[in-house]
Structure 1
């Protein structure tokens, strides 16, 4: 039976394979072009994804019983930041592949072990660890791809899965990333595959029977909204009806 962990790992593989097909074709000019992350080039996005893969692989590998070389995060970031755009791109391919290969190859017993991520106070399950990685990868993969193809979208399967994950194991992230005080009234927003409820906190829910507003657009646009990427130049065809505006929702989800 396919589990939620299996589906997340499959989505990580799909995103990796898409970028692995694209990245070797990029010219120096494309690597240095502006990405969907406004302050980063395409190469810098790949560097961020690559360093993230290197860092987040270590605790999973440690929990699985692999000997892992200890290196502090700042040293890793400095090494990546000091690399050329071409080396950042090549490094991403290497380290992201190593991450995906690791999580695909874990045994059932290794999957059950708790993982100390370092950025969180308590150990987490493999599901939380890989879900956090998918949240990072899906959005930044879009950042990289839209830098060379303005029509790019977030991987559709990843978007559907992330909406499901934000209803469950990733719900805690909304306490850090969403700003409920940016709207003056309670909002129950119908979205593809669920709902977003804004009261004194922001939650993603199952589909809503009595919405006060409706998001008209695909699930991938919802994920871009929730990560601060549904900007006016990438929001064609998206409409919001009801008691909240798209601009207010952008303020609720400033991005990361």
Structure 2
């Protein structure tokens, strides 16, 4: 990825942090135990996930900057255990602190570092550049920030700034995210037409799931806001959270079928 992408992604991390932090600072004790878009987590648990993730990301980034050994699995487990033991109020307070530090650390990287630094995330075959590492954090942050917001507003959408940056990365993840076996052997070719920003492509669902050119004769046409598509492929597509502008034509597959194909994780 380019340094321009790194710059834009770091700006989106700042915007996302500031917006969620403003919301969190206004939460009451009851709000912190409120249900969220993550069915098994309350607000404080989502903040715990984001906060512990920020702490681990920060340690990994600092190890790359300092040329030291990347933190191992024992470090990660100790972080998760500490956050699990916190009260809801402590999770909120600590999230505000550590995510601010992570965003500032990214913001403090100069242009050569943004271009040349390589970060070993531990679960990929090779170290990645700053743009890739920041994009992965943005994806996690944007979706979980939505989890928090949708608990209080069923019409909440992914942040537009994050949507623009994450949209073109989704194709590479479709094979991992989709479970086409849910279609019980049906082979379906969809034309997907997204808005804000506009994108058009084909989604093939068979033995595997792939994204490619728009088929000449699709079995159906899915028209949707781009932010919903990003939420849909990560399982955030319940009917209550699906705007009326999402339309799937054709008889080969329904929106409920598509929800089963993308169950989330």
> Scaled by the length of structure 2, what TM-score is found?
0.86
Per-residue deviation, 1:2: 7.3
1:233 match = 240
Per-residue deviation, 1:140: 0.3
Find the residue that maps to 1:217 and give its secondary structure: strand
- Contact 1:190–1:211, Cα closer than 8 Å, also in 2: no
Alpha-carbon distance change, 215 to 182 in structure 1, aligned in 2, over 3 angstroms: same
CA distance in 2, matches of 1:25, 1:119: 36
**Mapped pair 1:58 → 2:62:** no
Per-residue deviation, 1:56: 1.5
* CA distances 1:100-119 after superposition (whole Å, capped 9, x unpaired): 11112112232212111012
1:197 match = 203
| Unmatched segments (≥5 aa) in structure 1 | none
1:3 match = 4
Per-residue deviation, 1:197: 1.8
2:158 match = 154
* CA distances 1:204-253 after superposition (whole Å, capped 9, x unpaired): 457x3636232233111111101101112212412211332211211221
CA distance in 1, matches of 2:187, 2:203: 11
Q: Which of 94, 100, 114 does residue 91 from structure 1 map onto?
A: 94
1:77 match = 80
2:40 match = 39
Q: Please, which moves more after superposition, 187-196 or 66-75?
A: 66-75
**Mapped pair 1:214 → 2:221:** yes
Per-residue deviation, 1:16: 0.7
* CA distances 1:121-156 after superposition (whole Å, capped 9, x unpaired): 321222221111111111100001111222221112
CA distance in 1, matches of 2:48, 2:42: 10
Aligned pair count? 251
* CA distances 1:57-88 after superposition (whole Å, capped 9, x unpaired): 22222212277995611110010011011111
Find the residue that maps to 1:198 and give its secondary structure: strand
Q: Please, which moves more after superposition, 140-149 or 151-160?
A: 151-160
Q: Which of 135, 138, 144 does residue 140 from structure 1 map onto?
A: 144
**Mapped pair 1:249 → 2:251:** no
Q: Which of 90, 102, 116 does residue 105 from structure 2 map onto?
A: 102
- Contact 2:202–2:215, Cα closer than 8 Å, also in 1: no
1:19 match = 20
Tell me which structure has the larger Cα radius of gyration.
2
Find the residue that maps to 1:189 and give its secondary structure: strand
Alpha-carbon distance change, 198 to 68 in structure 1, aligned in 2, over 3 angstroms: same
